[in-house]
């Protein structure tokens, strides 16, 4: 496996040249006081070093060893506790955290780059700080000042970790039918009882305490999702002076044996009258959890991108070195027995597909992160509402499309290696196994597609869609003529998406099955069109500079490949959507 190198040049390009993030931050007073170019550059540089030097070298050995469970105690692979301490001491767990409680206070557009780096280095490792950061978001937004002061500082510094305990064996995505109970106690706390499954980082040896956020129901709670409350349940109780006290009756019953992310502890957690504290209002637990959900779902999308980036780096190095056959146009390495496989058209197709997906995904995830920053920090009501609309619309696309392409990209990377890609020592098969979970957790990609079509497109009568579509339309209408080779196909793709959206809005009024039948392919069409917008923006930033630096020539070449070879996928996908739902219901259940 190639040594991981953080793609800092491309991150700088996206932040500074494509989106000119400094202009956005200058308009957001809360960020203008804490963010400057020098600080961001130092963060990118140092994050690149710590992920490449301390975490990436552990990825394969940690996958081979996995986590160990022994009588409720979970031990992570060799080297993980030391690497986590190094990561935490650098302040990386709290890079986006509230400065009032010890976080760095960086915008999501910056912390997104750090997330990509740590997940490229090791997806299994990156899950631990990711879950902690997510728990901190909900605590900071909804918990009492006392709870925030007690728990956030040690969580931001990485001394304590966080987990989120949502689903149960019988529930899956349907959280409205959870059975975990919360019984009020005389001192204002609650006794939490129940079993949670698939809990990432529910138990481990990386930190001295773990703070669980647990969904449970009060005795008088209404049925369904409107009866869910959120509780903070520490592994070890915290004394009044901040020291750790006795063990709370919460334990790990087992860890899952998984396809990938072997070094991440995925736990079955048992709560037996464990002491917990209400976060937010009673029966408003899902709302409190959804505070962090947009961030987490973008974070999962970034995991898909990050794994694809690691696979691409491996594949490019291999393709440049591996000698096999001759170029179709004649020998290129005449002093060698064969040419490097990078001369072959099909290898180039795979590498360019990976490159286009990764760089398009980096731009798109940064764009969505900027909308999160605007929605959180803008003091202008209209600007904030517009950003909130874009976040609502684009979050399911970011989660699903980035992870769908993440799987495709890692498979391409494995294929470049041929038979060696199937062998564990080269590392490519691990990336395929690891990235597969990203399409499943934080709401499966099918659920994300239903959210996009059912709630965001149909539910808003197309209003949310118009916000994004109008932005693209304005860009193509005002773009310089030099960009026509990119804006012309972008305009055509947008017109196709406009027509497909109108078709969907019309058809779903008569047949509710159309939403579920169309949703996955519609999200794909949306994703490829959104990436076309990103590639047009990147082409605009690169055009005219290609003679000065190879980076820009590479960027323009990849943009042309995207429009020529990947964007046309929208046509077959559009045909699938317009085929309707009828063919899905031609068979009776017993005929399958």
Nearest alpha carbon to residue 252 among 237, 238, 271, 239? 271
First to last CA, the chain: 43
- Whether residue 183 is contained in a domain is answered as no
Res. 563 pLDDT band, cuts 50 70 90: very high
Name the residue range of residue 457's domain: 444-585
- Whether residue 315 is contained in a domain is answered as no
Among 442, 514, 521, 590, the active-site one is: 442
Give mean pLDDT, residues 225-241. Answer: 96
Q: What percent of the chain has pLDDT over 90?
A: 94
Helix axes 513-542, 550-561, angle to 10 degrees: 150
* pLDDT tens by residue, 189-231: 999 999 999 999 999 999 999 999 999 999 999 999 899 999 9
At 581, phi and psi to the nearest 5?
-95, -10
* pLDDT tens by residue, 267-298: 999 999 999 999 999 999 988 888 778 789 99
- Whether residue 578 is contained in a domain is answered as yes
* pLDDT tens by residue, 25-69: 999 999 988 899 999 999 999 999 999 999 999 999 999 999 999
- Whether residue 466 is contained in a domain is answered as yes
* pLDDT tens by residue, 499-553: 999 999 999 888 989 999 999 999 999 999 999 999 999 999 999 999 999 999 9
Give mean pLDDT, residues 350-362. Answer: 98
pLDDT of residue 293: 81
- Whether residue 494 is contained in a domain is answered as yes
- Whether residue 238 is contained in a domain is answered as no
pLDDT of residue 547: 92
Q: Is 442 a catalytic residue?
A: yes
pLDDT of residue 294: 79
Q: Count the Cβ atoms, other than its own, within 10 Å of residue 202.
A: 28
Q: Quick check: 415 pLDDT over 90?
A: yes
Structure tokens at 298: 């973008």
- Whether residue 514 is contained in a domain is answered as yes
Report how far residue 401's alpha carbon sits from residue 414's, in angstroms, rounded to the nearest whole number.
20
- Whether residue 279 is contained in a domain is answered as no
Distance of CA 290 to the CA centre of its chain: 15
Domains in the chain: how many in total?
Answer: 1
């Amino acid at each position: 496996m190639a040594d991981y190198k953080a793609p800092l040049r491309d991150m700088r390009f996206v932040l500074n040249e494509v989106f000119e993030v400094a202009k956005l931050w200058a308009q957001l007073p809360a960020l203008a006081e804490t963010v400057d170019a020098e600080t961001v550059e130092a963060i990118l540089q140092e994050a690149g070093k710590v992920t490449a030097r301390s975490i990436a070298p552990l990825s394969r050995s940690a996958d081979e060893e996995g986590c160990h469970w022994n009588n409720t105690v979970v031990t992570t692979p060799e080297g993980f506790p030391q690497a986590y301490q190094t990561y935490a001491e650098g302040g990386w767990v709290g890079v986006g955290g509230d400065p009032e409680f010890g976080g760095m206070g960086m915008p999501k557009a910056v912390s997104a780059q750090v997330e990509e780096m740590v997940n490229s280095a090791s997806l299994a490792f990156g899950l631990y700080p990711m879950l902690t950061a997510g728990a901190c978001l909900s605590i900071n937004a909804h918990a009492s000042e006392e709870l925030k002061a007690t728990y956030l500082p040690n969580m931001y510094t990485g001394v304590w970790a966080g987990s989120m305990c949502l689903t149960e064996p019988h529930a899956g995505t349907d959280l409205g039918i959870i059975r975990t109970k919360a019984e009020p106690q005389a001192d204002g706390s609650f006794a939490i009882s129940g079993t949670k499954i698939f809990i990432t980082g529910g138990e481990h040896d990386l930190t001295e305490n773990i703070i669980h956020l647990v969904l449970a129901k009060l005795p008088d709670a209404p049925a369904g999702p409107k009866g869910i409350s959120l509780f903070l349940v520490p592994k070890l109780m915290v004394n009044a002076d901040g020291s750790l006290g006795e063990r709370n009756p919460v334990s790990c019953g087992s860890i899952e044996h998984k396809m990938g992310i072997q070094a991440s502890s995925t736990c079955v957690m048992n709560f037996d009258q464990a002491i917990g504290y209400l976060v937010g209002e009673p029966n408003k637990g899902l709302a409190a959890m959804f505070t962090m959900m947009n961030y987490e779902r973008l974070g999962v999308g970034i995991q898909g991108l990050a794994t694809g980036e690691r696979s691409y780096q491996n594949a490019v190095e291999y393709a440049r070195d591996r000698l096999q056959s001759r170029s179709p146009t004649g020998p290129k390495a005449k002093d060698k027995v064969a040419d490097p496989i990078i001369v072959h058209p099909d290898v180039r197709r795979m590498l360019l597909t990976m490159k286009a997906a990764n760089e398009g995904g980096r731009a798109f995830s940064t764009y969505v992160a900027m909308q999160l920053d605007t929605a959180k920090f803008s003091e202008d009501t209209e600007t904030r509402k517009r950003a909130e609309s874009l976040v609502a619309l684009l979050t399911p696309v970011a989660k699903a499309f980035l992870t769908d392409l993440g799987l495709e990209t890692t498979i391409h990377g494995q294929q470049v290696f041929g038979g060696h890609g199937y062998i564990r020592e080269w590392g490519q098969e691990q990336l395929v196994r690891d990235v597969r979970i990203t399409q499943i957790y934080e709401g499966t990609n099918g659920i994300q597609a239903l959210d996009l079509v059912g709630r965001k497109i149909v539910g808003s009568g197309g209003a949310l869609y118009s916000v994004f579509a109008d932005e693209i339309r304005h860009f193509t209408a005002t773009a310089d003529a030099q960009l026509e080779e990119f804006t012309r196909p972008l305009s055509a793709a947008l017109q196709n998406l406009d027509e497909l959206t109108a078709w969907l809005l019309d058809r779903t009024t008569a047949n509710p099955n159309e939403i579920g039948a169309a949703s996955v392919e519609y999200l794909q069409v949306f994703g490829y069109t959104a990436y076309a917008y990103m590639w047009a923006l990147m082409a605009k930033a690169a055009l005219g500079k290609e003679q000065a630096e190879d980076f820009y020539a590479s960027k323009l070449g990849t943009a042309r490949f995207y429009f020529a070879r990947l964007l046309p996928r929208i046509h077959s996908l559009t045909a699938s959507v317009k085929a309707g739902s009828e063919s899905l219901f031609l068979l009776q259940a017993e005929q399958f």
